[in-house]
Amino acid sequence: KAGVTQTPRYLIKTRGQQVTLSCSPISGHRSVSWYQQTPGQGLQFLFEYFSETQRNKGNFPGRFSGRQFSNSRSEMNVSTLELGDSALYLCASSLERRGAHYNSPLHFGNGTRLTVT
Amino acid sequence: AQSVAQPEDQVNVAEGNPLTVKCTYSVSGNPYLFWYVQYPNRGLQFLLKYITGDNLVKGSYGFEAEFNKSQTSFHLKKPSALVSDSALYFCAQGGSARQLTFGSGTQLTVLP
């Protein structure tokens, strides 16, 4: 099975611009999550989608948004970029079982490294 | 709120020696616990998980972890370290909020 695919791998943007990152989950996985990884803050949860619905959102400003399509592919968007948005953005998918709490392992992509100048 | 602590930023061990990477979790959350490994310029790779049952969990690449409820710990172990085990290791706690809370990470260096 193909793993989680994130595109692009690298992005360089200027402050004030917006950016869209893409994620294709493992086939059959319907839950997609996004995390931001920075040296200072570590790994922080952005949001989670399941069947095109956002089920949970982390503590990030409204400039960070996402969506999920009917084929489970997901995108996240960051508008009005700031220098502090420079980070590795990781997408992860999981196979959610009926009635399961969050005990299914996440399968991560290799991330998109965003640099804001 | 959940919190996960990895008290050591860096762990060095000689090849062939046993290794331990420490993790403690918050009592307020349910103990759905995970270990992930990250190699440079890559995403996180799942190693093992504890949901319920035996306190000793076996995972990928010879790694195992010991769940200790009284000490709220979930330490990662391997009997004999390899140079190729050198990487960044993250402990994480899951829960009903459908998100993982990660520790700050421990850089493991295995010296030849």
Examine the pLDDT at B32 and tell me if it is beyond 90. no
Query: Using one digit for the tens of pLDDT, what is the confidence trace for A36-84?
Result: 999 989 999 999 999 899 988 999 999 999 999 999 999 999 999 999 9
Q: To 10 degrees, the CA torsion angle through A33, A86, A9, A5?
A: 0
pLDDT of residue B54: 85
Q: Best interface-test mutation with A: which of B30, B48, B100, B102 has the largest number of A CBs within 10 A? A: B100
Q: Does B95 touch chain A (CB under 8 A)?
A: yes
Closest partner CB to A105 (pick from B34, B95, B104): B34
**Nearest-by-Cβ selection for B100 from A45, A50, A113:** A45
Q: Do B90 and A43 touch (CB under 8 A)?
A: yes
Segment B82-103, tens digit of pLDDT = 999 999 999 999 876 678 899 9
Establish if A56 touches chain B: CB-CB under 8 angstroms. yes
